[in-house]
Amino acid sequence: MSTLTASPSTDAPTADGDRIDWLRCLPFIALHIAVLGVIWVGWSWFAITTAVVLYFVRMFAVTAFYHRYFSHRAFKTSRVMQFLMAALAGTAAQRGPLWWAAHHRHHHVHSDHEPDVHSPSLRGLLMSHCGWFMTRDAYRTNTRIVRDWLRFRELRLLDRFDWFMPLVLALSLYSVGALLEVFAPGLNVTGMQLFIWGFV
């Protein structure tokens, strides 16, 4: 669950804020280990097609909306489309729209200077690529940077419950796969197979 804070958490690191919070990282680690599940669930053309389609759809939502729209305000859209695309991007498990935009805006303000957590020259490749978002300081959403989005209650809700949309996708994939196993056995797909290929 995302923590909204008005404090300049990303500008003023706490004493242990740059240390990796291993307990919070367990789902991230488990997800990467779960990839090995393909060995046991096998494959089907339906599962592979689902994986490819979901990859491109979710990456479009993250790139076009979390990045271009929420972080840079590069274009305009309706409030309904804004919500739908934020929800869709949320299925990629890259936290909520406010969290994502706040961290990206912070990165642009401080690019390659302290306190930019994305700089390989300051933090090293591993920490700048993925280690930074596993830290205690990175967990919080600095709302000072995203005040322009705070008036949208639905975005605050998606941000606060950032685990919800990935859970919806995971359960949906498993359910669809289980139904197809019963009602369309010729597709050779199962609930666990569709979950592993489509979500993990």
Q: Rounded to two decimals, what is the model's pTM?
A: 0.87
**Choice between 177 and 7, residue whose per-residue pLDDT is larger:** 177
End-to-end CA distance of the chain: 20
The tens digit of pLDDT for each residue in 35-90 reads 999 999 999 999 999 999 999 999 999 999 999 999 999 999 999 999 999 999 99
User: Residue 7: which region, alpha, beta or left (left: phi > 0; alpha: psi -120 to 50)?
Assistant: beta
What does the CA dihedral 174, 177, 183, 184 come to, rounded to 10 degrees? 180
pLDDT over 70 at 191, yes or no: yes
The tens digit of pLDDT for each residue in 110-148 reads 767 777 677 777 777 777 777 788 888 888 899 999 999
- Total Cβ atoms within 10 A of residue 132: 20
pLDDT of residue 8: 44
Query: Strand ranges (DSSP E) for the chain?
Result: 3-5, 140-142
pLDDT over 70 at 97, yes or no: yes
pLDDT of residue 121: 73
| Residues contacting 101, CB < 8 A, separation 6+ | 66, 70, 71, 145, 146, 149
